[in-house]
Amino acid sequence: MFPSDYLYTEEHEWIRIEDDLCVLGITDFAQNELGEVVYVEVPELGETYEAGDEIGTIESVKAVAEIYTPVGGEIVEVNSALEDSPNLVNDDPHGDGWIVKLRFSAKEDLSSLMDADRYQEYVKAQD
C-alpha cells in the first residue's frame, strides 16, 4: 500500500530520496482523510526551510491541512501540475501528486522518519 523505498512522517508526509534531493508529498492515508483536494499552496523556489517547518497547505472540500517538511533544505522544484490539477494528490499521491523537491542539507533529518512497515503500523493504530 505504501511504497517501500519512501520514508514517512507522523504527519503523513512521505519523502523519496533522489541523490541529494528529496521529493515530498502526502500519503494515500492523508489524501483519503482529507477528501477531494481543491487547492495546493506550495512554497517559492529557492526558499529554505528547517526540518519540521510548514511549507504550504492543502485545501479539500472537508478541511485545510498544513504541509510540513521532514528535512531541512532548499526548494528546487514545485509540482506546477497541481495548479490546474490539484486532484493529482488524490489520484496518485505517491507518484504524480508529489508536491515539492528539496535539496536537503542534513542527512541526520532522515533518522526520525519511518520506513513503510513502521508507517503501516502507525496508520493502523490511528483507526
Reported as a single tens digit per residue, the pLDDT across 52-88 is 999 999 999 999 999 999 999 999 999 999 999 999 9
pLDDT at 48 over 80: yes
- Domain of 36, in residue numbers: 7-105
In this prediction the pTM is 0.93
The CATH number for 82's domain is 2.40.50.100
Name the residue type at position 49: Y
Residue 49 lies in a domain: yes
Task: Evaluate whether residue 15 is within a structural domain.
Answer: yes
Residue 55 domain-assigned (yes or no): yes
Residue 2 included in any domain: no
For residues 85-110, one letter each, b for 16 or more C-beta atoms within 10 angstroms of the residue's C-beta and e for the rest, the string is bbebbbeebbeebbbbbbebbeeebe
Is 68 contained in some domain?
yes
How many folded domains does the chain comprise? 1
Q: Is residue 23 part of a domain?
A: yes
